[in-house]
A and B are shown apart, each in its own frame.
Chain A
């Protein structure tokens, strides 16, 4: 059986390439648009991109560490 479009290697490559192009465009388009910053910290170039990326990585790592403490097998309460 032929694999669904989403699961073919060629289309995954295509999707990754398109996403990368979109990310680069969204990042550098800031050169052409004035952002009307309110706080000083917003004046850093690509502030929102870095904020989104880094805070998510931090959240995932924190969740992972916190998970060591609070994760239990899913039949924990049934026993």
Chain B
């Protein structure tokens, strides 16, 4: 392997493996300095391919740096840095190690220039994120993690089949723009979309993420879905199908978030909603839309991390997650509340916040292409975002009825990381050129026209009015909402239970029958002997039954 500089992703992965051996101040220093080093190496690298390895007859490219990959790597490293600061004193070493390996693999996926190394890091990401979910160490997170990894391994297998077929067809492992003209590229698309939380298998996100620890979900929100956006941006820009998938996800996120009671699950559904905007942008596929998607991924990672830190702080200080148990926390947690509100305004694309300068580009792309209905639905969805994340989250957690809880703001390191992210949200909102300069294509767009600010304010403020007019209907209830995961959480287990019951009954009656036969044949012999023979016969009969069953199915 020849590398001109060290690989930023591998550096984070390997330093993750060192974290468990450190503690106290050394650990904190290590957690904060490694992302800095990694960021430095990315920004001093020149564009093009680096770090190549020969494997079988192929040449793997571990680093393929251009404007797009540098943008994603930069925001990933900022996240691991600030989220690391957020929990450097509170989280266990196991969790931090898993988070580092997870983040490092995400960085490596983004940098990968070929499909084989992309796949290896893709799977490593799935494993590390499962460990991160498990690190909250309770039974619920264990079960949610098992469901999460099952779905992701399924996606991984399909992706692998697709990649193998694609390499066989094209004789090239280069990761580049693909056409949906064969089964293999469809399988690759499926594998990518599964990680983005696209339908029908989108339930894993809201199922697993909220079961992670208060800090684990901050890491989880950033990487899996956004690497999926990155690979879709590279592999399938301009695929019409993605517009409709994106629109579905946007509304799925809003409706489920409106019904939800758990504050972190509201934010999980809103991840699906925001990723929907991005996928829609990838589907539109013009330079404006792709720029908008990349910009929105950047800003979304920042404000979503901020929102989840705010929710995480509430969870850390109160131990409660449900809106029905929370409320009135702004009185005793002013900094958490203000930072949460800034995140909520950013996700709603309020003028002077980061969401405004990024989401507007996707909407503008639909105008440029004269896509009336898509534009209209995106506008409706923008109003819906303000409804479910912009107002609902802060209202039910920090205001509404007084729950009587009086937790103070979280420890200093947590406060500081929230303030830092809130600062970035506003900084990008006021000076969008900082972000626009990093985008893959030249930006010919001006977000701050008086007309644009006015229509956005009208749209958002009147959706806010709708929230308060409809407040009686928004009353929180102690409920969950069924999703596609019902099929594998309820239906499949009950069917297998039924089969198992039936088989065990059959086994008991078979045992009785054979005991009787043995008894008739050898009623003079000892009982011990009888039991051993009956066990032996039982195995033969059951295997015979299974073979018979198998042939019947055939």
A residues neighboring B (CB under 8 Å): 4, 6-7, 19, 22-23, 26-27, 29-30, 33-36, 38-39, 41, 46, 48-57, 59-64, 66-67, 70-74, 76-77
Contacts and interface: CB of A to CB of B under 8 A. Distances in A.
Interface string B424-465: 000000000000000000000000011100111111111101
Nearest to A42: B455
A7 B258 contact: no
Interface stretch (B88-96, B107-115, B477-485, B525-533): B477-485
9 contacts: A4-B331, A29-B454, A52-B383, A56-B463, A67-B479, A71-B482, A72-B479, A74-B322, A77-B489
B458 A48 contact: yes
Contacts of A33: 450-451, 454
A22 B465 CA distance: 11
A12 to B, nearest CB: 11
A53 B477 contact: no
B330 A57 contact: no
A48 B387 CA distance: 15
Interface residues of B, number: 51
A53 B402 CA distance: 28
A24 B255 CA distance: 29
A29 to B, nearest CB: 6
B465 A53 contact: yes
A55 B383 contact: yes
B451 A34 contact: yes
B514 interface: no
A23 B469 CA distance: 14
A63 to B, nearest CB: 4
A27 B458 contact: yes
Best-buried of A54, A55, A64 by chain B (most CB within 10 Å): A55
B480 A60 contact: no
B367 interface: yes
Interface stretch (B116-124, B169-177, B187-195, B372-380): B372-380
A35 B451 contact: yes
Given A60-B470, A76-B480, A52 B462 contact: yes
Interface of B is mostly: helix
Nearest to B377: A55
B254 interface: yes
A63 B477 CA distance: 14
Contact of A60 (B451, B474, B482): B474
Contact of B455 (A6, A19, A48): A48
A71 B480 contact: yes
Interface in B311-342: 322, 328, 330-331
B285 to A, nearest CB: 19
Contacts of A46: 458
Contacts of A55: 379-380, 383-384, 463
B478 A26 contact: no
Given A51-B383, A60-B466, A6 B330 contact: yes
A9 to B, nearest CB: 14
Nearest to B479: A71
Best-buried of B461, B477, B478 by chain A (most CB within 10 Å): B461
B30 interface: no
B189 to A, nearest CB: 28
A56 B483 CA distance: 22
